[in-house]
């Protein structure tokens, strides 16, 4: 159902089924399609309320029909993630599209969600199907194992999946080691077994230069 055309355009082939995507991300379609704007980005009232509290602005649309839709957003790189009953945690600004059958919601993540505009909550995608996530530059999926925990700059973090625990190391960033950066900053430490997706370009965070 999901396939990439190049690295920056997502093609979704539909045969009467539906896909949920970031509002305004459709660039073309053929066949017969129906469009519906969905409020919020989480499931039900709770998802809408938490997003309103955290100031997140994530408008989602549902596309249903017969044919092919193409999606893209600001020439971002697109990465496909297949879920098999798992949960994906992803920054809302990095989520492009999901199978309509996947459940989306929000979860409290503390400081880890402190990227600019994302408050203290992050988006969750759960079930079986495909999701398309975006990155500024080609994303890399890094494996975390019991023997090898992973430390990530919050400005480079996109998403993670698997049985992972996250903790925060405050007062230091990668740039601090080089005598750069300023303000209170932190790193994210992942332990357990799973994958963490990072991008080569850093977003600004409220914790200072990351």
β-pair type (186-198, 140-144): antiparallel
Bigger pLDDT: 143 or 53? 143
Q: What single-letter DSSP state applies at residue 23?
A: T
Average pLDDT over residues 57-69: 86
* pLDDT confidence tier of residue 176, bands split at 50, 70 and 90: low
Residues 6 or more apart in contact with residue 197 via CB below 8 angstroms: 79, 81, 133, 135, 139, 140, 141, 142, 157, 158, 159, 160
Average pLDDT over residues 92-102: 90
Residue with tokens 């500024």: 136
Reported as a single tens digit per residue, the pLDDT across 98-148 is 998 898 888 776 544 444 433 456 788 999 999 999 999 999 999 999 999
């Amino acid at each position: 159902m999901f396939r990439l055309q190049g690295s920056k355009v997502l093609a979704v082939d539909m045969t009467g089924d539906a896909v949920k995507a970031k509002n305004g991300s459709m660039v073309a379609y053929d066949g017969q399609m129906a469009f519906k704007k969905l409020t919020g980005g989480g499931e039900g009232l709770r998802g809408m309320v938490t997003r309103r509290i955290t100031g997140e602005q994530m408008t989602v649309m549902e596309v249903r029909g017969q044919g092919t839709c193409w999606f893209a957003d600001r020439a971002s790189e697109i990465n496909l993630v297949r879920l098999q009953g798992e949960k994906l945690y992803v920054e809302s600004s990095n989520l492009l599209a999901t199978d309509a059958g996947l459940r989306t919601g929000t979860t409290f993540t503390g400081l880890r969600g402190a990227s600019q505009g994302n408050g203290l909550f992050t988006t969750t995608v759960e079930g079986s199907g495909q999701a398309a996530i975006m990155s500024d530059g080609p994303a890399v999926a890094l494996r975390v194992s019991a023997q090898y925990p992973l430390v990530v700059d919050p400005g480079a973090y996109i998403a993670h999946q698997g049985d992972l625990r996250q903790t925060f190391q405050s007062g230091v960033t990668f740039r601090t080691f080089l005598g750069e950066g300023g303000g209170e900053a932190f790193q994210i430490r992942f332990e357990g077994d799973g994958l963490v997706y990072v991008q080569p370009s850093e977003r600004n965070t409220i914790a200072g230069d990351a």
